[in-house]
Amino acid sequence: MQSTESAPATNQLALNERTQHLLRALVERYIRDGQPVGSRTLARDAGLDLSPATVRNVMADLEDLGYLRAPHTSAGRVPTARGYRFFIDALLRLRPLDHQEVEILRRHIGQPVQSSADLARSVSNLLSGVTRLAGIVMLPRRNVVTLRHVEFLPLSETRVLAILVLNTQEVQNRIIQTRRPYSAGELQQAANYLNAQFAGQEIQQVRGALLGELREARDSLDRLMQTVMEMAEQTFETAPDGEDYVVAGQTHLMQYTDLSDLDKLRQLFEAFNHKRDLLHLFDQCLHAEGVQIFVGEESGFEVLEGCSVVTAPYSVEGQVLGVLGVIGPTRMAYDRVIPVVDVTARLLAAALNDHA
Give the start-to-end residue ranges of the domains of the chain: 9-91, 99-142+242-355, 147-237
Q: How far apart are CA 101 and CA 98, in angstroms?
A: 5
Q: How far apart are CA 179 and CA 231, in angstroms?
A: 10
What integer pLDDT is reported at residue 8 of this predicted model? 40
Q: How far apart are CA 7 and CA 12, in angstroms?
A: 7
Radius of gyration from C-alpha coordinates of the chain: 26
Q: How far apart are CA 183 and CA 104, in angstroms?
A: 48
Whether the domain at 99-142+242-355 and the domain at 147-237 fall into the same CATH topology: no
What angle separates helix 17-33 from helix 39-46, to the nearest 10 degrees?
A: 110
pTM as predicted: 0.70
In this structure, which topology does domain 147-237 adopt according to CATH? Enolase-like; domain 1 (3.30.390)
Q: How far apart are CA 151 and CA 172, in angstroms?
A: 11
- CA 286 to chain CA centroid, nearest Å: 11
In this structure, which topology does domain 9-91 adopt according to CATH? Arc Repressor Mutant, subunit A (1.10.10)
What angle separates helix 17-33 from helix 52-64, to the nearest 10 degrees?
A: 90
In this structure, which topology does domain 99-142+242-355 adopt according to CATH? Beta-Lactamase (3.30.450)
Q: How far is CA 279 from CA 137, 140, 147, 289, 311, in A?
A: 11, 13, 26, 17, 12
Could you tell me if 234 and 176 are in contact, meaning their C-beta atoms sit under 8 angstroms apart?
Answer: yes
pLDDT (tens, 9 = 90+) of the chain, 356 residues, equals 444 443 344 445 468 999 999 999 999 999 999 999 999 999 999 998 999 899 999 999 999 999 999 987 677 999 999 999 999 999 999 999 999 999 999 999 988 877 777 888 999 999 999 999 999 999 876 556 788 899 999 998 889 999 988 877 778 888 888 888 999 999 999 999 899 988 888 776 777 777 665 555 555 567 777 787 777 777 776 444 444 788 999 999 988 888 878 888 888 888 887 776 787 788 888 878 899 999 998 988 888 989 999 999 998 877 888 899 999 999 999 999 999 999 999 999 998 877 65
